[in-house]
Amino acid sequence: MKKLLSKWIIAAVSIYLASQVINGFQVSGWQAAFGAAFVFGLLNFSIKPILSILTFPVTLITFGLFLFVVNGILVYILGMLLKTVQVSSLWDAILASVVISVSTMVLNTIFGVKDRHKRD
């Protein structure tokens, strides 16, 4: 439970940070960032596997870089689902997904939050 809460907080901070860095990606505030992190987690759980399978050939050809586009599509969908998240274009969504991914990785490393697939 503690790890789940830590991951949720880190995701919210990363989403808020992306909204401060990318002009075309806006989040209303901290509360909206926490709600967006929750919905983004649900999208990653439900839609990302389907998109990843459908785009596997392109992902393979681009050596995995197309996953940033897949994540950008999820950020764009997040903007369509939540009124508190504004996404101007797919390009802004892709840039926001890069910022979210990198900042999440850095914060997970700083705070020692391990991936759920790895054994302690």
pLDDT digits (tens, 9 = 90+) for 7-29: 999 999 999 999 999 999 999 99
Residue 88 lies in a domain: yes
* Number of compact structural domains in the chain: 1
Residue 59 lies in a domain: yes
Residue 38 lies in a domain: yes
Residue-range definition of the domain harbouring residue 89: 2-109
Q: Which pLDDT score is estimated for 57?
A: 95
* Encoded tokens for 27: 């989040």
Residue 119 lies in a domain: no
Residue 120 lies in a domain: no
CB 87 within 8 A of CB 76: yes
Residue 115 lies in a domain: no
The residue among 112, 120, 99 whose CA lies nearest residue 6 is 112
CB 99 within 8 A of CB 17: yes
Residue 37 lies in a domain: yes
Residue 85 lies in a domain: yes
pLDDT digits (tens, 9 = 90+) for 34-89: 999 999 999 999 999 999 999 999 999 999 999 999 999 999 999 999 999 999 99
